[in-house]
Amino acid sequence: MAVDSPLPVKARDTIGQSGGKLPKIGIKRFLKESDINALNVMEAQGGQEAEIRRRLVQDPVFCSTGIDEQNEYAFLFGLSNGYVAVKDEDTPDALLRMKFNYPEKNQFGIADAAEGLTVEDLKHVKEKADEHGNTIIQFWIAKSAYDKLRKTNGAKELVAQYNGTVYTSVNNLPTPTSSRFNEAFEDETGATFRVIDRSIIKEKNGVRNSVKPWNANIVISVCSNMIGALVYGRLAEQSNPVPGVEYQTIDTYKLIAKFSKTDPLLEATTGQAYVLPVIENVDQVYQLDITKVQEVDETAEGEDTEDV
């Protein structure tokens, strides 16, 4: 810059906005008259104080943990699929759908459906991110897909080269261990793996089912450790508490309430929150769908004169 000249004007980063309502998460647990009688019997028998105390404080902890589980389900499902549909207690007959709008240029498929996901597919995504000026630092992948990836010829060759192993046929190479494969992959690409094998218990009408929120057919590549934010709002009962109800606020946004009613006797514990995990910086999130074959850009392919 020349002396006595004005400072150069730089472009300001664009700011993305999103709108809509936050879903209301709600969890409720009851302590029925029969349960209370059982606690009284335990107390009368003596020697059960610790168990009684545990059962009495269990419901608030359960409600708080249940909200955390729902948040993690929404985050993992939303990150892998690019959208999430969650139940809203204010509209119990409908689902509230949130779409994170991953850019189309950040969505990819694999090269060969018969071969499945390969190391080259992941390197291809990383190369595209480099072209966009982004640096992928981590691949989020389901354990089932990761285990299949380790068994591919590309993974075996990558580890063999990393170890300096001399081989005549890839068929003679063993399947690399997770630690060795991770080391070789990071050495080659500078990126690491985040293997997802998370199960979450979903309960409906007293029936519990174990579900895996992460889409096993999707690999997500990220350029930062800060992927999103937990967005939450203030509940009406926080500013307008109901008389006779015991309230406790946990983690700023979770409202735990305890109250009783008669005929029949019932003690209830509820957990409420207006909250949703939101994926941010979506232009730095790359989605690879294992079930889709990447279409070849014939125009770009024709301009490449180096191919034989």
pLDDT in tens, 15-25: 444 455 788 88
Query: Is the pLDDT reported for residue 246 higher than 60?
Result: yes
The alpha helices in 28-48, defined as continuous H runs, are: 33-45
**What are the tens digits of pLDDT across the range 79-118?**
999 999 888 777 777 788 889 999 999 999 999 999 999 9
- Residue 94 confidence (pLDDT): 75
DSSP conformational letter for 218: E
- Residue 5 confidence (pLDDT): 57
Query: Is the pLDDT reported for residue 131 higher than 70?
Result: yes
Query: Is the pLDDT reported for residue 262 higher than 90?
Result: no
Query: Is the pLDDT reported for residue 261 higher than 70?
Result: yes
Q: How far apart are CA 189 and CA 123, in angstroms?
A: 7
Q: How far apart are CA 273 and CA 66, in angstroms?
A: 11
The secondary structure of 123-185 as a DSSP string is HHHHHHHHHTT----EEEEEHHHHHHHHTSHHHHHHHHHHHT---S-GGGSPPPPHHHHHHHH
Q: What's the half-sphere exposure (Cβ side, CA atoms, 13 Å) at 257?
A: 21
The residue type at 44:
A
- Residue 271 confidence (pLDDT): 94
Angstrom CA distances, 244 to 241, 264, 285, stand at 9, 18, 48
What is the radius of gyration, based on Cα positions, of the chain?
26
Structure-block tokens of residue 231: 């967005």
Q: What is the arithmetic mean of pLDDT over 298-308?
A: 53
Q: How far apart are CA 286 and CA 222, in angstroms?
A: 7
Most confidently modeled of 183-192, 232-241, 257-266? 183-192
Structure-block tokens of residue 31: 């302590």
Query: Is the pLDDT reported for residue 241 higher than 80?
Result: yes
φ and ψ at residue 58, rounded to 5 degrees: -70, -35
Report pTM: 0.82
Q: b/e per residue, 165-197, with b = 16+ CB within 10 A? A: eeeeeeeebeebeeeebbbbbeebbebebebbe
Evaluate whether 29 touches 268 at the Cβ level (below 8 Å). yes
Q: How far apart are CA 53 and CA 78, in angstroms?
A: 38
Angstrom CA distances, 199 to 76, 77, 148, 181, 188, stand at 10, 11, 20, 25, 31
- Residue 41 confidence (pLDDT): 65
Q: How far apart are CA 166 and CA 159, in angstroms?
A: 11
- Residue 302 confidence (pLDDT): 56
Q: How far apart are CA 210 and CA 8, in angstroms?
A: 57
3-class SS of residue 2: coil
**What is the percent of the chain where pLDDT is above 70?**
80
Burial of 162 (0-12, 13-18, 19+ CB in 10 A): middle
Evaluate whether 59 touches 269 at the Cβ level (below 8 Å). yes
